[in-house]
């Protein structure tokens, strides 16, 4: 029988609070799989299992504050006998660790005393949702089953797929498949009185995404190069291609698709940009382009990946991109749709953003930020003319690439978009 203990994560840490269990008693756990989320006075962290086995016993409920190094769970074989002390943990913990604070081991946090129906509680237990996060719409703001289900669908989802994220995505997905029915009119925004606030827990997926962003910024030296380009020829080409595309597919050929197409081919020309970190001292330069595109889905930022984007016709690319966007918005993304990206494009043009510094989606080494299309006066052959202008922002990891590498790549993209003829030539190269 293997013990899981409350980790000591800081010199001064004496206690840790169990925020949520990801596994139930009797669940199979793999080594490295997140087992529970723990909050210390400094951080929230996922505690992963060190061993494979069955989670036999959880000694503390969610919300319990436990002294560090105390046993909080047992993992073992399904039929292995449990140690005696697991039966009455409160007593043994106190008597074995007299120096620790007399912690209320099995105490439930006050915040969990929410008004919820048994069905809502059962669904919340199943989906690992804390009822304190859920807004009740029943009588007396009682949380009912559909409130929990609605919350489960709308809660933050992942942008890149770690095992834990995959787990959560597949859970939300399967729950979507089990015909969770949410009627938007059943979930009206309740009027918020002035001077009120909500405490939004930073945990789960939101925290995973956020932590990765923070890691990226602190680990990778970011440099962003910016270039404003005249895309009148691309727009003209799009205008000419549009009827052909629409005839053959239901997809609408967008400027963004043109950018994806150009970028995919530019990456083939610059494998040092189409790269990911394999380890601390190795970088993989990919020979195919798996192009991630950031999508603002209802549940949050998602980055579905168009696999082998370099092999796709503009027709196929257009179709795939629109399908992925649809899936992302419906919440029907498969875990595979979020994996294996080699480069990411983030387009905030639709929000009127002209220029921004995107954060690299590690382990990738660069990301392209696309701004909005704006008609601007420019000087052309000595004349001031109005042209449709697009700003390209490329953030790159200076550990892997230098300014010149990034600039050259961006130049290729810019060339393909200012003069799509070049793209045509490149296809033959």
Partner 1 sequence: MREITYQEAIREAMSQVMREDERVFILGEDIGVYGGAFGVTRGMIEEFGPERVRNTPISEAAIAGAAIGAALTGMRPIMELQFSDFVTIAMDQLVNQAAKIRYMYGGKASVPMVVRAPGGSGTGAAAQHSQSLEAWLAHVPGLKVVQPANAYDAKGLLKAAIDDNNPVIFYEHKLLYSTKADVPEELYSIPLGQADIKRAGSDVTLVSTGIMVQKSLTAADLLAKDGIQVEIIDPRTLVPLDIKTIVSSVKRTGRCAVVYEAVKRGGYGAEIASLVAESEAFDFLDAPIIRLGGKEVPIPQSPELERHAVPQVEDIVEAIRNMMQKA
**Around 104, how many Cα atoms within 13 Å sit in the side-chain half-sphere?**
7
Which residue number, 134 or 410, has a Cβ lying nearer to partner 1?
134
Three-state DSSP at 178 gives coil
> Is 159 within 8 Å of 301 (Cβ atoms)?
yes
> Is 280 within 8 Å of 362 (Cβ atoms)?
no
Tokens of 405: 């590498």
In three-state form (DSSP H/G/I as H, E/B as E, the rest C), the secondary structure along 358-383 is CCCCCCECEEEEECCCEEEEEEECCE
Which residue number, 111 or 119, has a Cβ lying nearer to partner 1?
119
Give, in order, the Cα–Cα distances in Å from 159 to each of 82, 152, 196, 258, 318: 39, 17, 31, 23, 21
Task: Write down the catalytic residue from 77, 186, 402, 421.
Answer: 402
Tokens of 237: 């080409």
Binder of partner 1 out of 41, 112, 190, 250 (CB under 8 A): 190
142 binds partner 1 (CB under 8 A): yes
Active site residue 398: yes
Total residues contacting partner 1 by CB under 8 A comes to 18
Binder of partner 1 out of 53, 128, 136, 371 (CB under 8 A): 136
Which residue number, 186 or 421, has a Cβ lying nearer to partner 1?
186
CB of 154 to partner 1, least distance (A): 18
Task: Report the candidate in 365, 289, 336 with the shortest Cα–Cα distance to residue 165.
Answer: 336
Binder of partner 1 out of 13, 132, 137, 372 (CB under 8 A): 137
371 binds partner 1 (CB under 8 A): no
Which residue number, 140 or 383, has a Cβ lying nearer to partner 1?
140
138 binds partner 1 (CB under 8 A): yes
Tokens of 105: 């081991």
- Per-residue x/- track, 100-119, partner 1 (CB under 8 A): -----------------xxx
Q: Which of residues 329-358 bind partner 1 (CB under 8 A)?
A: none
Interface region with partner 1, contact rule CB under 8 A, candidates 73-81, 136-144, 164-172, 338-346: 136-144
25 binds partner 1 (CB under 8 A): no
Active site residue 186: no
Strand partners, 300: 297
Binder of partner 1 out of 98, 139, 193, 382 (CB under 8 A): 139
Task: Write down the catalytic residue from 94, 211, 398, 405.
Answer: 398
Binder of partner 1 out of 107, 112, 141, 170 (CB under 8 A): 141
Q: Is the dihedral of CA 29, 30, 33, 38 positive or negative?
A: positive
Neighbours of 26 (CB within 10 A): 10
Separation CA 421–CA 419 (nearest Å): 5
Strand partners, 116: 143
Task: Indicate which residues carry an active-site annotation.
Answer: 398, 402
Give contact residues for partner 1 (rule: CB under 8 A): 117-122, 136-142, 144-145, 186, 188, 190
């Amino acid at each position: 029988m293997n013990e899981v203990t409350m980790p000591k994560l800081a010199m001064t840490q004496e206690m840790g609070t169990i925020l949520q269990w990801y596994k139930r008693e009797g669940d199979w756990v793999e080594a490295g799989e997140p087992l529970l989320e723990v909050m210390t006075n400094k951080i929230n962290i996922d505690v992963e299992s060190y061993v494979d086995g069955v989670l036999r016993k959880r000694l503390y409920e969610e919300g319990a504050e436990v002294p560090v190094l105390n046993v909080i769970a047992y993992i073992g074989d399904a039929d292995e006998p449990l140690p005696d002390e697991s039966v009455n943990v409160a007593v043994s913990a106190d008597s074995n660790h007299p120096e620790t604070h007399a912690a209320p081991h099995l105490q439930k946090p006050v915040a969990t005393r929410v008004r919820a129906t048994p069905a809502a509680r059962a669904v919340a237990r199943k989906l690992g949702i804390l009822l304190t996060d859920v807004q009740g719409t029943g009588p007396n703001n009682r949380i009912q089953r559909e409130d929990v289900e609605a919350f489960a669908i709308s809660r933050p989802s992942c942008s890149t797929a770690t095992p834990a994220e995959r787990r959560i995505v597949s859970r939300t997905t399967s729950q979507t498949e089990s015909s969770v029915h949410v009627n938007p009119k059943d979930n009206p925004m309740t009027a918020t009185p002035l001077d009120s606030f909500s405490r939004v827990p930073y945990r789960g997926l939101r925290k995973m995404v956020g932590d990765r962003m923070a890691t990226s910024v602190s680990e990778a030296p970011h440099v962003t190069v910016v270039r404003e380009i005249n895309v009148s020829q691309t727009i003209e080409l799009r205008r000419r291609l549009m009827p052909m595309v629409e005839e053959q597919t239901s997809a609408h050929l967008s400027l963004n698709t043109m950018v994806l197409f150009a970028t995919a081919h530019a990456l083939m020309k610059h494998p040092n940009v189409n790269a990911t970190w394999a380890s601390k001292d190795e970088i993989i330069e990919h020979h195919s382009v798996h192009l991630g595109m950031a999508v603002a889905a209802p549940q949050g930022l998602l980055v579905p990946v168009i696999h082998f984007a370099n092999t796709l016709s503009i027709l196929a690319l257009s179709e795939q991109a629109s399908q992925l966007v649809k899936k992302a918005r419906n919440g029907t993304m498969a875990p595979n749709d979020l994996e294996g990206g080699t480069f990411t494009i983030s387009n905030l043009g639709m929000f009127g953003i002209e220029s921004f510094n995107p954060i690299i989606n590690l382990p990738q080494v660069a990301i392209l930020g696309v701004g909005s299309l704006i008609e601007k006066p420019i000087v052309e052959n000595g004349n001031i003319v109005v042209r449709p202008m697009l700003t390209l922002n490329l953030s790159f990891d200076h550990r892997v690439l230098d300014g010149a590498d990034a600039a050259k790549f961006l130049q290729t993209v810019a060339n393909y978009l200012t003069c799509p003829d070049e793209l045509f030539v490149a296809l033959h190269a």
